[in-house]
Structure 1
Amino acid sequence: MKFLRSLLKIAVVLVVLLFGLGWIYSKILTPKYSGELEIENLTEEVTVYFDEIGVPHINASNPKDAYIALGYLHAQDRLWQMELIRRIAAGRLAEVFGKDLVRVDQFFGGLGIEEAAEKTIANLDKTSESYVLSQAYLDGINQYIEEGQTPLEFTLVGLKKEKYTIKDMYNVFGYMSFSFAVAHKTDPLLTEIKEKLGADYLNELLGSFTENLTVNKTSIPKEINATISKSVSSIMDNLPVSPFIGSNSWVIGADKTKNGKVIFANDPHIAFSQPSVWYQNHIKTPDFEIYGFNIALMPFPLIGHNKEYAYGLTMLANDDLNFYVEENNPDNSLEYKTENGFEKYELRDKTIHIKNEPDTTFQVKVSRHGPIMNGLIEHIIDDRPIAMNWIYTQLPNEMLSVSHGISHSKSITDFRASVSKIHAPGLNVMYGDAKDNIAWFSSAKLYQLRDSLSSKTYLNGASGKDEIIEILPFSENPQAINPSWNYVYSANHQIDSVRGKLYPGYYQPQDRAKRIVELLDTKDDFSKEDVEAMMYDVKSATVPEIIQNLLKSVDKSDLSPSAKKAFSVLENWDGAYFKKSVAPTIYNRLLYEFLNATYKDELGGSFDLFINSQLQDQVLLTQINREQSVWWDDISTKDKIESKNDIIHQSYKNAISFLQNQLGANVEDWTWDRVISVEYEHAIGKAGGVLRTVFNVGPFETIGGNEVINNQIFKLDSTGYYKITAGPSTRRVIDFSDVENSSAVLPTGQSGRLFSEHYKDQTQKYLDGEFVKMKMNQDEIELSKNRLILKPK
């Protein structure tokens, strides 16, 4: 008995000791939010106030000191995120996660992002302010690597810290640009449809691109108030860093607001992750101020504001990536045909270092059009060499100058000059200012091919006839400045005509754009609170019409009582995705069954690529409205030609049967919250088990769905459960009648450090549609309990 008591005491001591060590370890790994630190290369002391959500408000006497401080602070909260994002474009993820990431490394390593970065860096003006401040930012990051605490993730995966260079920064630009591209998923699929199924099948899909559109209209005044005072799919799905997807933004002119000043709103849609994509920060020097949202390893914010102007972005979705079929020399596979004879492929040898495994090497052939993607893109199954021609790697890259320029503009004219330099990714850049200017710029290097040539299927690389004829001047890009309708907006939808034709792209369907216009047209006295509520809106502008058109083909006399009840629920649905709504559950299962019955028999294994693509979204309403279509016939039934009514009616019955098996016989129990959820996944939390519980945030119930303003993006599949993978990466509202009380919110929190109190402290507010103040009043900022002094060493 005495022995047992002694053993128990020892156990208690060990538990207390372990708990104590864990507590100490957690405190060591928490970012330093107060006290003093000595930093090299500062000229003067920098004071940093951390507010209630962990945003650093950096007060410096000069820009260089401010950006050294930003780099240091960004690294102490987000070093693990920086490490992952710099490794993607360089093809270095397998070094961290092992052989399962080799395919990802081969794909990104073959795109030519690193080679383009090297070429750009060699030609940079090393005396420009953008370069000097970028180096200051990198200096701050690297000082944290030398002196700061190593994040827990590095220890868990056995990874040593490495210093950062400007090449890492350009690799991030490249990754961001590629994650915006859509053609790499869609062009091979459309070419396969064209070549295997025929022109009729292809033309029905492409014909829908000019139907059911809400077009973003051009409006350029003669004068403006210009002065202000101061599967690639599977590869992308499994990345440990968020790919970019879509976005909403609208800017309401002074004449449509309650207080007579511009209100700016933006919520970029990006794959959810933990930590959140954006790092909030507020820099103030005697001559400069910006409240910015920065991507890891980017010193200048892509979205931001100050007391004079605000800016943001959405994905333009123009077609900036084309595939060319090359023709090899039959006598020498290292050469390819051009209109001027055979030319040699450039050969790039690549090595991938794999954790706990031998290195592997591969070779990429590069034609004048770009890298040969056979073997790099899994759904390119072709005996012909297919080259990827991507504007990002083909044209000069000025993105460092662009990001610096838009965050340091002195006028709308100055701002427009900066965004005119964007080549890729194509962006809708939104603008509003304290002088009552509002603007939308479609910013990309738009180009022209010869007439009648479609960029949505493979082009001929050998003939010389399918080349880009002209890069258009920015003045011809669709844009709107202070339009007569008193607002500008973007939801990744079709932009206005260029040279008399709708400019080709992979635009999202009109759903969100139509809803934004519906709401903006309802009143002329918008407040900040109205706009905040609008950002949380979950009503679809198009689904009610889709439902009514589908139900016309359902024979009610052939339905069970439960199916008739479900029919009534759908028939009376207004398109809103609330937690206790039943209609979204029925609709999304019906949609899956409809798409499966319409397309899978022809597409086979490519159906999974099609079902959740922008292409499918775009053609949906048009296809439902077609009475005659080559897609209606189920080619697996030899003795019968199915009609539209056959397909839809059977799809409806299949959907009801599935839901009864999944959720029970009572239709009223089929609520949306039973099948939808969101979880903000950490790269290590993806391993599951205890690591998932520790590092991930969630899962949670939520409201919203695909293509509503509160865009909660999920994939349709056979399971009947909808795991949200992407959505608003932040929600921001800037009201120039009270700019110091503008608001924003992140999906989880400001810090990527597990033991920080700001790891997930905004999560519930985000889920509930609430906002947090973006503080800009200096007196209020200085009341913060956490003050960190950075002193010159």
Structure 2
Amino acid sequence: MKLLKFMVSLLLTVVVFYAFNTKLGPIPPIGKFLSPSQGIWQNDKDESITGNIEIEGLSEDVTIKYDEQLIPHIFAKNDIDLYKAQGYITAKHRLWQMEFQTFAAAGRLSEIIGEKALNYDRTQRRKGMVYGAEKSLEVVKTDEESLAYLQAYSDGVNAFINELDPKDYPVEYKLLDYKPEAWSIEKTMHLLMYMTDMLCGGDSDLEYTNVLRKLGQERFDLLFPDFFDINDPIIPKETDWSFVDTEMSEIPQSELPLDSIAETMEKPHPNNGSNNWAISGSKSYSGNPMLASDPHLGLNLPSIWFVMQLSSPTQNTYGATLPGALGIIIGFNNHISWAVTNATRDVKDWYKIEFKDATRQAYKYNNQWKDTEVRIEEIKIRNKETFLDSVIYTHHGPVSYDHTFKSANEKKGYAMKWAGHIGHNFTRLFYKLNNGENYDDYLNAISSHVAPAQNFAFASNDGDIAIWVQGQFPNKWKNQGKFLMDGSNPKHDWQGFIPQEFNAHIKNPDRGFVSSANQHPVDASYPFYVFNDGYEIYRNRVINDFLESKEKISIQDFKDLQNNNFNLKASELLPHMIEHLNTSQLTPEELEILNTIKSWNFYSETDQIAPSIWDAWWTKLYPLVWDEFNVDSVALETPFTYQTINMLKNNPNDSFMDIVETPEKETANDLFLITFKEAVKELTDWKAEYGNYNWQGYKGTFVGHLLQALPAFSRLDLPIGGDRNTVNAADVNHGPSWRMIVEMSSPPKAIGIYPGGQSGNPGSKYYDNFIDKWAIGEYFDILFMQNQNNNNGIIATQTLKSK
């Protein structure tokens, strides 16, 4: 291990100078970083998981049992001590990650890495990330119990921080040359806003407005339909909505404003999504309901998830936690199990603001001038003066774009209306879920959920399964929120919200399963307006077809489905591309590659080269179809994948197929030939440089360290198949982040895996020990302890005692 650490240190010396001179900021003190007494060498040690530790404020002893995966099983005699222990143990293994993510959420990265992070921090502040966290904290403060649990968690984190000497700081603090600060409830609120923003779904109002202005309504509707004909919604098509008895929003008789903006803020990762499903006992091999969870997020080290068991007299819960937030987020207890996927509902709208004058102290609203509020955002910058950013707030929300940021007109701005700014109590929601015993408890827990919009799948040992598309959703008139709206028109405001009981849901369906994979939640018969903002169209059909096709389903079936690499998208377009490819124009080398992909079975497996050919071909084809969208200096959204394929197959002579830069009139068939030749050249060049272009090497899936510039702390070129469109949605640096399968027996049996390890210390064998199993589709057996006296599978015991 010492030799390994020496090599890592040597690599890091090179990496550090590169990273800090190019991406992150000033060079850290290398001498301190490599110092034998307090540098990286001090991080090369085994996990301290035995003995007694004194913690300030504990009322009774708390027992921690560590299993062979370094998963802590926490047994406390009351919930305050339980969450204090959770905070302490999470910080013990993941402190730097916890804090770094809250700095990112709150727009404070400039404090750590300097001026290069300023625009990122300004964007976070102008999104209202801190503002939204403050609104949620106001709600939490009305709930004394939730506040007490959050304070206990904070106290636990700080108990760990206070016992650290500089030599014990996680390596990233040494690398970046700063020290941890005290944890607070506000930091937990910032982390939860970070997740709310990450999962806020589509936000293309400004880009859609530019497309509408460029193409007109008829062409826009062709390219961006609200529903696809192949739609297989979360709530089955035959659902009866006649029980809905509330008024719908009326469409105002006014035109939408047309405006253009050259540059918009960076959006959440387009691959953020998930799979979940549950089957009833009637379809289960054992007669017990079963549930599967598979959130698709960034593949990072340390992992976004930290797995643990939390046990007290009120609960016994196991699952994935978010370092920095209390409770189990995705998991199960002795009675119920739950999993969430991104519902991607449109809960973020944009309004054009007309200011009275350059002072921006008033804006036009309802034919009057309404006062604005100003929020001074103080952004501290390492080794620089503090930057003060004046963010204007309207009744809609923050004016994210104005003449001081990404917009030039002093009398014009763009304000954001976002459900994420509505205060809500995540802590109460997950506390109720963790303690839930039946369907009513589950529904009671999620009924107050605001944002981000989530599909909560559920299974219980009572035999119930269910799914709710849950959040606080504006009751919109048709097309409201699809485009930039007039901020001066009261009829363009959100007129109210869909009553919670009318959110799309289903319990114990006749087909014997519920599922979601980020597809459209409903069909056109749903009485409230829900437009297509880029819903998933492939994974969900593979999942539903699989679950429909089998009378009895086993745990192995669930594993096979989570790791399914069938590429439905390729299967629906590639045969057409091959059929209409002018092979007379191909060279012998090109024909050889064509013959290879002709025999492909559409499974994107690591050792095949056909998936690489398909990926290279599609990656060239898609932007060439929509080259018209790259000629303007305004932000535009290109059409969805499914509609692109529909156009290629059914409208091959449409004017969009013509290449803008050529004098000839191209068709879809011409594009197939041009892009196939380009793909072959790319693959040939790749082969010349790397020796092969099988799918593993060409895709190059990696799990990268959160700082991105640390290959020594990352795992590269992983042997995992699939892509963003397969059920096993493993893309380059994004994919399945916590695979969990639970059978609701008594007690439940479960398996799980995630692409990382429990420890945040790169020197620990538990830092990335799950990755190899995760990549090849294996799982670990979950040890769900019913009491603290059973030591089977336990490698160490630690006791937290009151100081």
Instruction: Give the TM-score normalised by the residue count of structure 2.
Output: 0.86
Of 147, 153, 159, the residue aligned with 2:178 is: 159
- 1:495 match: 521
1:527-566 correspondence to structure 2 within 5 Å: 527-566=554-593
Amino acid at match of 2:738: T
Q: Find out whether 1:656 has 2:680 as its counterpart.
A: yes
> Structure 1 residues 112 and 670, CA, compared in 2 at 3 Å: closer, same or farther?
closer
> Structure 1 residues 344 and 22, CA, compared in 2 at 3 Å: closer, same or farther?
closer
Q: Find out whether 1:102 has 2:118 as its counterpart.
A: yes
Q: CA deviation at 1:699?
A: 3.8
Please identify, of 745-754 and 776-785, the stretch whose mean Cα deviation from structure 2 is larger: 776-785
> Structure 1 residues 136 and 49, CA, compared in 2 at 3 Å: closer, same or farther?
same
Amino acid at match of 1:460: D
Q: Find out whether 1:191 has 2:209 as its counterpart.
A: yes
For the 8 Å contact 1:335–1:345, the answer to whether it is kept is yes
- 2:661 match: 636
Q: CA deviation at 1:377?
A: 11
> Structure 1 residues 396 and 355, CA, compared in 2 at 3 Å: closer, same or farther?
closer
What is the distance in 1 between the residues matched to 2:693 and 2:298? 27
> Structure 1 residues 582 and 377, CA, compared in 2 at 3 Å: closer, same or farther?
farther
> Structure 1 residues 746 and 652, CA, compared in 2 at 3 Å: closer, same or farther?
same
- 1:673 match: 696
Q: CA deviation at 1:422?
A: 1.2
What is the distance in 2 between the residues matched to 1:197 and 1:621? 20
1:38-49 correspondence to structure 2 within 5 Å: 38-49=54-65
- 1:329 match: 356
- 1:70 match: 86
What is the distance in 1 between the residues matched to 2:104 and 2:624? 37
Q: CA deviation at 1:39?
A: 1.1
- 1:347 match: 374
Q: CA deviation at 1:630?
A: 3.7
Of 190, 193, 200, the residue aligned with 1:181 is: 200
What is the distance in 2 between the residues matched to 1:624 and 1:607? 26
Please identify, of 551-560 and 293-302, the stretch whose mean Cα deviation from structure 2 is larger: 551-560
- The secondary structure found in structure 2 opposite 1:521 is helix
Deviation per CA, 1:137-181, whole angstroms, max 9, x where unpaired?
111011111114422222222212211221111111211111112
- The secondary structure found in structure 1 opposite 2:491 is coil
1:52-451 correspondence to structure 2 within 5 Å: 52-125=68-141, 128-148=144-164, 149-184=168-203, 186-207=204-225, 209-217=227-235, 245-329=272-356, 333-374=360-401, 384-393=412-421, 395-450=422-477
> Structure 1 residues 198 and 635, CA, compared in 2 at 3 Å: closer, same or farther?
farther
Q: CA deviation at 1:709?
A: 0.9
> Structure 1 residues 126 and 147, CA, compared in 2 at 3 Å: closer, same or farther?
farther
What is the distance in 2 between the residues matched to 1:209 and 1:489? 19
For the 8 Å contact 1:85–1:296, the answer to whether it is kept is no
Deviation per CA, 1:586-609, whole angstroms, max 9, x where unpaired?
111111221222112432378997
- The secondary structure found in structure 2 opposite 1:385 is strand
Amino acid at match of 1:787: T
For the 8 Å contact 2:277–2:513, the answer to whether it is kept is yes
- 2:649 match: 625
For the 8 Å contact 2:202–2:534, the answer to whether it is kept is no
For the 8 Å contact 1:74–1:141, the answer to whether it is kept is yes
- 2:249 match: none
- The secondary structure found in structure 2 opposite 1:737 is coil
Q: Find out whether 1:485 has 2:511 as its counterpart.
A: yes
What is the distance in 2 between the residues matched to 1:469 and 1:155? 51
- 2:250 match: none
For the 8 Å contact 1:56–1:281, the answer to whether it is kept is yes
Deviation per CA, 1:702-754, whole angstroms, max 9, x where unpaired?
211121111012xxxxxxxxxx1210111000012375541101101011122
> Structure 1 residues 660 and 681, CA, compared in 2 at 3 Å: closer, same or farther?
closer
What is the distance in 1 between the residues matched to 2:761 and 2:576? 50
Amino acid at match of 1:433: S
- 1:760 match: 768
- 2:669 match: 645
> Structure 1 residues 48 and 21, CA, compared in 2 at 3 Å: closer, same or farther?
same
- The secondary structure found in structure 2 opposite 1:647 is helix
- 2:755 match: 747
What is the distance in 2 between the residues matched to 1:455 and 1:571? 43
What is the distance in 2 between the residues matched to 1:621 and 1:345? 46
- The secondary structure found in structure 2 opposite 1:700 is coil
What is the distance in 2 between the residues matched to 1:678 and 1:331? 49
For the 8 Å contact 1:110–1:371, the answer to whether it is kept is yes
- The secondary structure found in structure 2 opposite 1:254 is coil
Q: Find out whether 1:616 has 2:643 as its counterpart.
A: no
- 2:6 match: none
- 2:779 match: 771
Deviation per CA, 1:338-384, whole angstroms, max 9, x where unpaired?
11411122111112111222222221112221112226998778884
Of 725, 732, 756, the residue aligned with 1:707 is: 725
Of 776, 779, 801, the residue aligned with 1:791 is: 801
For the 8 Å contact 2:211–2:637, the answer to whether it is kept is no
For the 8 Å contact 2:302–2:705, the answer to whether it is kept is yes
Q: Find out whether 1:683 has 2:687 as its counterpart.
A: no
> Structure 1 residues 244 and 176, CA, compared in 2 at 3 Å: closer, same or farther?
farther
For the 8 Å contact 1:581–1:671, the answer to whether it is kept is yes
- 1:579 match: 606
For the 8 Å contact 1:220–1:479, the answer to whether it is kept is no
Unpaired runs of 5+ residues, structure 2, are 1-33, 243-262
- The secondary structure found in structure 2 opposite 1:370 is coil
Instruction: Give the TM-score normalised by the residue count of structure 1.
Output: 0.87
> Structure 1 residues 339 and 70, CA, compared in 2 at 3 Å: closer, same or farther?
same
For the 8 Å contact 2:65–2:74, the answer to whether it is kept is yes
What is the distance in 2 between the residues matched to 1:761 and 1:738? 30
Of all paired residues, the percent bearing the same amino acid is: 23
For the 8 Å contact 2:301–2:714, the answer to whether it is kept is yes
- 2:14 match: none
> Structure 1 residues 22 and 129, CA, compared in 2 at 3 Å: closer, same or farther?
closer
Number of aligned residue pairs: 741
Q: CA deviation at 1:530?
A: 1.8
Amino acid at match of 2:694: T
What is the distance in 2 between the residues matched to 1:69 and 1:593? 52
Amino acid at match of 2:640: Q
What is the distance in 2 between the residues matched to 1:170 and 1:430? 25
For the 8 Å contact 1:188–1:379, the answer to whether it is kept is no
- 2:258 match: none
What is the distance in 2 between the residues matched to 1:537 and 1:472? 36
What is the distance in 2 between the residues matched to 1:781 and 1:377? 61
Amino acid at match of 1:756: S
> Structure 1 residues 293 and 391, CA, compared in 2 at 3 Å: closer, same or farther?
same
For the 8 Å contact 1:291–1:305, the answer to whether it is kept is yes
Amino acid at match of 1:659: L
What is the distance in 1 between the residues matched to 2:760 and 2:347? 33
- The secondary structure found in structure 1 opposite 2:224 is helix
What is the distance in 1 between the residues matched to 2:790 and 2:385? 56
- 1:733 match: 741
Q: CA deviation at 1:701?
A: 3.3
For the 8 Å contact 1:512–1:709, the answer to whether it is kept is yes
- The secondary structure found in structure 2 opposite 1:430 is strand
- 1:14 match: none
Amino acid at match of 1:736: M
Amino acid at match of 1:59: F
What is the distance in 2 between the residues matched to 1:297 and 1:412? 28
Q: CA deviation at 1:458?
A: 0.8
